[in-house]
Amino acid sequence: MCGIMGYVGRGSARDVILNGLARQEYRGYDSAGAALRVGGEIKNIKIVGRVSELHRLVYADEGTAEAVSGIGHTRWATHGGVTVTNAHPHESADGSVVLVHNGIIENAREIRSRLEADGIKFRTETDTESPCQLLARIYAGNGGDARAAMSELCGSLSGIFSLVILFRDRPDEIWCARRGAPLVAAHTDEGGYCASDPTALLEYTHDMFFLEDGEFAEITPDGIKFFGFDGEERVKKSIFLHWDSAMAEKGHYEHFMRKEIDEQPNIVRLTIDAHTVLTSVDIEGDLNMPDGKPLASWIREIRRVQFVACGTSHYATLVARGLMESLDNALDVTADVASEYRYRSVPGGPDTLAVFVSQSGETADTLAAARGARGRGTRCIAVTNVRGSTLDREAGCALLTTAGPEVGVAATKTFTSQICLLNLLALQLLKSRGTLSVGDEARLIGGMRALPTKQQALLEREGEIRALAEKYSGSKGFFFIGRRESVPLTMEGALKLKEIAYLPSEAYAAGEMKHGPIAMLDEHLTVVALVPNDDLREKMLSSVAESRARGARIVIMATEGDAEVAAMCDDVLFVPETERELFALCGVIPLQLFAYHTARTLGRPIDMPRNLAKSVTVE
Ligand code: F6R
């Protein structure tokens, strides 16, 4: 949560900082600020609201055009209300240090009491002011040795942080530090940069230095020096990011989310191409394990597979879990949310394979869960969309989804790319165990190959889905119901509607409705029933009939050609037939579009829903 940015160099610090904040606004957007060094002065401009408003204010001050360095912040409040005073950057009482922070300083209160007892006046309610005041105190006390002061500061803080700092009397430097929250630095002929998210730097370079936990850096126009928290200099290698900055642009779309929904057919294609070996006649489906070790060498020892993730990524793992279970029920496969897995006494060890899935690769709970599993000797694989992210770097073995940067806060294209990749991983695991039949392998890989065309056909029916969204946007609430393969999709459909349209929406395994939720149904509620044409169709239709009898409005998502369902509901949405296990990869498109158009009808800020941030880097 929170996006931070720093720059020092020969270009326009004002442009770099404001562009960087705009690109990271999805990380937090209740307030924003920029501190720009102009001559001997540091102009600290802060607002409650969006980066566009900050942009207006900064550019209204003509002096800021001359800025040669600066730091900036877009905030998702944790400690202290959403006020201009609490917005970052923060300044020490003596004005020597200006600082921005992402994370939570756990010993902030203790530091504050100590410094207040010494007469230092605090101005804000934030945890961030404590490291700011403390750094100023250390720096003043050690004769202005910035490196030693950074080392002492970092060693004194508990909690998680990424920090970017300006020292008033060091005009050609910015400093940054990391423990637990993402931070990337880069250097070009134009100067030195740092940011929370590499997409903020892509327009300048693709060569990124990802700081590790326990590292800080001195950035100048001529280079970057890295240090451990012990103050010892470190040599770091850069990582080349293949993403292109245009991938993080909205193009002609009104919202990133809408653009990202449209990208899905291509991403499915790319994911399959990147991870399968094709022959002219059939598809082998061999996954290239990135560590180069053949899975077959250890997979037979595996007795259980644990998928671990949060939110939409968790729902993607539920789809993969279902696929594995349907093909090999001798294997114990679970899918947990990371925030629970990390605190439960889960089994582990070398007979367990845990797969940690995170779009951002920075979700605090998923990272902690992965560290715990590694500590138990569990074999771990990470699946992430962000090369260089903490999950990618910490995992011994990481698979990258090929979705490109996802900017809309609501996950869309990364959900489908995760499912594709997890399905391929699942098939490879089962093949190595000897439990995947040639027929099932060809059927499922072939089914995945056919998906992009089907997804494209669904995207072309947007008008129909928009009309439905407009019709039902006045509903008091929604129930998404389904069975077996559809259950993860009910969760994703309900989550999308909650997060971007702010409408109450519940996901239920249809058989559970009678055990309580059905009491809520009346004519103000809408039931969205997922009814693929499979062996459970009749049971789903019974649930639909029960809901209908209680007056609820019914929308059915059915398989194309199933004309009979139209008589049982108010509206029907047809999706092309797929392999049973792949239903989510088609069905999700209308649900994403439905949530999108509902939110749009209700005038919600689709790409930046209230109270949310794309990357949940605190627990
Ligand atoms: C929902 C959404 C979130 C994320 C969750 C996990 O649209 O985006 O539920 O899926 O916060 O994030 P990652 O995958 O980055 O770990």
* CB of 104 closer than 8 Å to CB of 167: no
Residues 93 and 187 in one domain: yes
Return the closest-CA partner of residue 353 out of 367, 338, 373. 373
Range of the domain at 293: 255-449
Residues 175 and 43 in one domain: yes
Q: Has residue 609 been placed in a domain? A: no
Beta bridge partners of 225: 218
Contacts of 5 (CB under 8 A, 6+ apart): 16, 17, 20, 21, 24, 71, 72, 73, 100, 164, 193, 194, 195, 196, 200
pLDDT at 247: 79
* Helices and strands in the chain: count of H runs, count of E runs: 18, 25
Return the closest-CA partner of residue 79 out of 97, 60, 105. 105
Number of residues written out for the chain: 619
Ligand 1 contacts (CB < 6 A) are 310-313, 358-360, 363, 366, 410-411, 495, 499, 616
The C-alpha atoms of residue 491 and residue 513 are separated, in whole angstroms, by 14
Instruction: Indicate the residue among 386, 417, 449 that finishes a domain.
Output: 449
Q: Looking at 259-273, 371-385, 386-400, which range is the least confident one?
A: 386-400
The C-alpha atoms of residue 227 and residue 151 are separated, in whole angstroms, by 8
Q: Has residue 612 been placed in a domain? A: no
pLDDT at 172: 95
Q: Has residue 618 been placed in a domain? A: no
Centre of ligand 1 to C-alpha 296, Å, is 32
Give yes or no for residue 398 having a pLDDT over 70: yes
Residues 182 and 319 in one domain: no
Q: Has residue 87 been placed in a domain? A: yes
The C-alpha atoms of residue 456 and residue 416 are separated, in whole angstroms, by 13
Give yes or no for residue 618 having a pLDDT over 80: no
Residues 69 and 146 in one domain: yes
pLDDT band at residue 295, thresholds of 50, 70 and 90? low
Residues 228 and 265 in one domain: no
Residue nearest to atom 3 of ligand 1 (CA): 311
Instruction: Indicate the residue among 420, 449, 478 that finishes a domain.
Output: 449
Q: What is the CATH number of the domain that holds 112?
A: 3.60.20.10
Cα 301 to the center of its chain, rounded Å: 33
Q: Has residue 615 been placed in a domain? A: no
Q: Has residue 587 been placed in a domain? A: yes
Beta bridge partners of 46: 33
**CA distance to 300, 383, 563, per residue, from 305 (Å):** 12, 14, 40
Q: Has residue 548 been placed in a domain? A: yes
The strand pair at 352-358 and 379-384 is best described as parallel
The C-alpha atoms of residue 490 and residue 488 are separated, in whole angstroms, by 5
Residues 350 and 309 in one domain: yes
Centre of ligand 1 to C-alpha 342, Å, is 17
Q: How large is the C-alpha radius of gyration of the chain?
A: 26
Q: Which of 2, 154, 310, 586 is catalytic?
A: 2
Residues 210 and 282 in one domain: no
Q: Looking at 169-178, 304-313, 418-427, 462-471, which range is the least confident one?
A: 418-427
pLDDT at 610: 84
pLDDT at 283: 30
Overall average pLDDT of the 387-404 stretch: 86
Alpha helices in 460-530 (DSSP H): 462-472, 487-496
**CA distance to 1, 183, 247, per residue, from 403 (Å):** 21, 21, 10
Residues 207 and 259 in one domain: no
Q: State yes or no: is 225 an active-site residue.
A: no
Q: Has residue 454 been placed in a domain? A: no
Percent of the chain with pLDDT over 70: 96
Residues 201 and 293 in one domain: no
The C-alpha atoms of residue 437 and residue 431 are separated, in whole angstroms, by 8
Beta bridge partners of 187: 192
Instruction: Indicate the residue among 422, 449, 476 that finishes a domain.
Output: 449
- Look at residue 155 and give its three-state secondary structure: helix
Q: What is the CATH number of the domain that holds 579?
A: 3.40.50.10490
Q: Taking the alpha carbons of 610, 313, 597, 54 in that order, is the dihedral positive or negative?
A: positive
Residues 132 and 155 in one domain: yes
Return the closest-CA partner of residue 391 out of 364, 368, 361. 361
Q: State yes or no: is 454 an active-site residue.
A: no
Q: Which helix (H) or strand (E) holds 569?
A: none
Give yes or no for residue 287 having a pLDDT over 50: no
Sheet of strand 398-400, all strands in order from the earlier edge strand to the far edge: 332-337, 304-309, 352-358, 379-384, 398-400
The C-alpha atoms of residue 191 and residue 37 are separated, in whole angstroms, by 15
Residues 280 and 417 in one domain: yes
Residues 428 and 465 in one domain: no
Centre of ligand 1 to C-alpha 503, Å, is 19
Residue nearest to atom 8 of ligand 1 (CA): 411
Percent of the chain with pLDDT over 90: 77
Amino acid (1-letter code) at residue 237: K
Residue nearest to atom 11 of ligand 1 (CA): 311
pLDDT at 275: 65
